[in-house]
């Protein structure tokens, strides 16, 4: 997992922390890449020797200032330094690469697609992107950066999972607090999804455990994805151990209904990128929780419901047994989404911003001339 730029680094850093806290094994190796020394300093869980400062000769550790063309250039120039951080990673043991970046800024926006292209040329393993779209209040330049980066990034990765900050904005929160909450949401979803493909042989046995290849097949090769999520806390016996459930038989109909309703909530609730369900090409639903609460029938009902909603014949489903959890969570990965009004809106705003910037630039020389003009050229420059 490679975090490119500030947002990318923060999300990966939180992912590594989450993985450690839950004793997960989702992140085989984590790397952070940035042009700004200060951003790297804020990371707490990605080892120092896996933090790569690029573009030192160009920007001297001060970042690229939301210039994503410069971000792409420095990534291109210093790609070997990023590669050096990957050299001791046993790539044959990983299922895929994941590059995370905020698309509205400069470093990640420009650099992530460059790195994706490099990795795809070098490795057989799939390369996925996680692209974060800026909120609409961030303004024209960030929207323009995101729209251009989105187009480029999608072309370079096997699949681009999109997270839209706009849909997750809370009012009344500082940006810092807001991002911490948002990143938590994001990491939780990804952890259930990718953790599902990591279940140990000999670990808790589910009825139909999701395999890494099912995630890879759902993501496919090419396209855009979005993720839905819903969680339901389950009542806990006094003493708290789920192993005691055998004393109180769980009603199978309840369990089935709970799963079916969770699948609906996940798909119809807030998606990481809002889109129309109809026309989605592929899907995967993962139901995670205490084994007693997972049943094949519920997942099968949910799967069929999702087939109806999307019109897709390629909806996979499976479970992810987590014996110590006190909740049942459902993640729905929708891949090959095409009907996405938010992307069309983003592109429209980006085009307006671009025209506006060009107009201001084209007038800027003339405006400066007019400002310096003293009328009769009585004032002469010093030299």
Binding site for ligand GDP (CB under 6 A): 5-7, 10, 39, 102, 104-109, 132, 134, 138, 142, 165, 179, 182-183
Cβ-based nearer residue to ligand GDP, 106 or 228: 106
9 labelled ligand-binding: yes
**Any residues with CB less than 8 A from the CB of 94 and at least 6 apart, and which?**
28, 29, 125
| Residue placing its CB nearer to ligand GDP in the complex, 162 or 280 | 162
Bridge pairing between strands 282-289 and 327-335: antiparallel
CA 361 → CA 67, 108, 144, 148, 381, distances in Å?
A: 16, 25, 16, 19, 25
Instruction: Specify the residue, 167 or 208, whose C-beta has the smaller distance to ligand GDP.
Output: 167
What the block records as the tokens of 100 is 């995370």
Least distance from ligand GDP to the Cβ atom of residue 112, Å: 8
Residue 7 in marked binding region? yes
**138 annotated as a binding-site residue:** yes
Query: Known binder of ligand: residue 107?
Result: yes
* Beta carbon of residue 152, minimum distance to ligand GDP (angstroms, whole number): 14
Nearer to ligand GDP, 72 or 332 (CB): 72
Q: Is 8 within any annotated ligand binding site?
A: yes
Q: Minimal distance in Å, beta carbon 1 to ligand GDP?
A: 15
- Going by C-alpha positions, the residue among 330, 331, 333 that lies closest to residue 257 is 330
Nearer to ligand GDP, 138 or 325 (CB): 138
The nearest distance, CB 156 to ligand GDP, in angstroms, is 16
Backbone angles phi, psi at 232, to 5 degrees: -135, 120
- Of 62, 63, 65, 30, give the one whose Cα is nearest residue 49: 30
DSSP 267-303: HHS--SS---STT--EEEEEEEE-GGG--HHHHHHHH
What's the closest the beta carbon of residue 201 comes to ligand GDP, in angstroms?
35
Ligand-binding annotation for 108, yes or no, is yes
Nearer CB in complex with ligand GDP: 134/195: 134
Structure tokens at 35: 């042009």
Structure tokens at 207: 């009825």
Which is it for strands 224-233 and 51-53: parallel, antiparallel or unpaired?
Answer: unpaired
Question: To the nearest whole angstrom, how small is the minimum distance from the Cβ of residue 191 to ligand GDP?
Answer: 15
With CA atoms as reference, report the closest residue to 75 among 42, 47, 40, 106: 106
Roughly what angle, to the nearest 10 degrees, separates helices 107-122 and 5-21?
Answer: 70
Report the binding-site residues: 6-10, 106-108, 138, 165, 183
């Amino acid at each position: 997992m490679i975090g490119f730029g500030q947002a990318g680094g923060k999300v990966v850093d939180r992912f590594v922390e989450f993985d450690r806290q839950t004793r997960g094994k989702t992140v085989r190796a984590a790397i952070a890449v940035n042009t700004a020394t200060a951003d790297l300093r804020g990371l707490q869980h990605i080892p120092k020797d896996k933090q790569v400062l690029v573009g030192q000769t160009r920007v001297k550790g001060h970042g690229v200032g939301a210039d994503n063309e410069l971000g792409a250039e420095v990534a291109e120039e210093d790609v070997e330094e990023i590669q050096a951080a990957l050299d001791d990673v046993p790539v044959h043991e990983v299922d895929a690469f994941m590059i995370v970046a905020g698309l509205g800024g400069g470093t990640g926006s420009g650099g992530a697609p460059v790195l994706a292209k490099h990795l795809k040329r070098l490795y057989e393993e799939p390369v996925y992107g996680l692209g974060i779209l800026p909120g609409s209040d961030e303004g024209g330049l960030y929207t323009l950066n995101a729209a251009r980066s989105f187009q480029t990034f999608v072309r370079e990765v096997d699949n681009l999972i999109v997270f839209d900050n706009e849909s997750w904005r809370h009012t009344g929160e500082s940006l810092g607090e807001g991002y911490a909450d948002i990143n938590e949401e994001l990491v939780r979803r990804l952890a259930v999804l990718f953790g599902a493909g990591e279940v140990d042989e000999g670990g808790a046995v589910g009825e139909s455990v999701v395999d890494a290849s099912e995630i890879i097949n759902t993501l496919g090769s090419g396209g855009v994805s979005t993720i839905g999520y819903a969680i339901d806390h389950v009542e806990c016996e006094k003493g708290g151990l789920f192993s005691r459930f055998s004393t109180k038989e769980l009603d199978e109909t309840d369990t089935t209904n709970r799963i079916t309703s969770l699948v609906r909530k996940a798909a119809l609730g807030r998606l990481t990128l809002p889109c129309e369900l109809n026309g989605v090409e592929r899907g995967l639903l993962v139901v995670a929780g205490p084994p007693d609460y997972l049943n094949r029938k519920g997942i099968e009902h949910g799967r069929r419901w999702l087939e109806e909603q999307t019109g897709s014949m390629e909806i996979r489903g499976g479970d992810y047994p987590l014996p110590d959890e006190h909740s049942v969570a459902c993640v729905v990965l929708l891949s090959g989404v095409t009907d996405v009004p938010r992307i069309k809106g983003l592109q429209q705003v980006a085009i307006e911003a671009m025209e506006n910037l060009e107009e201001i630039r084209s007038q800027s020389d003339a405006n400066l001339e007019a400002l310096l003009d003293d009328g009769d050229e009585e004032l002469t420059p010093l030299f």
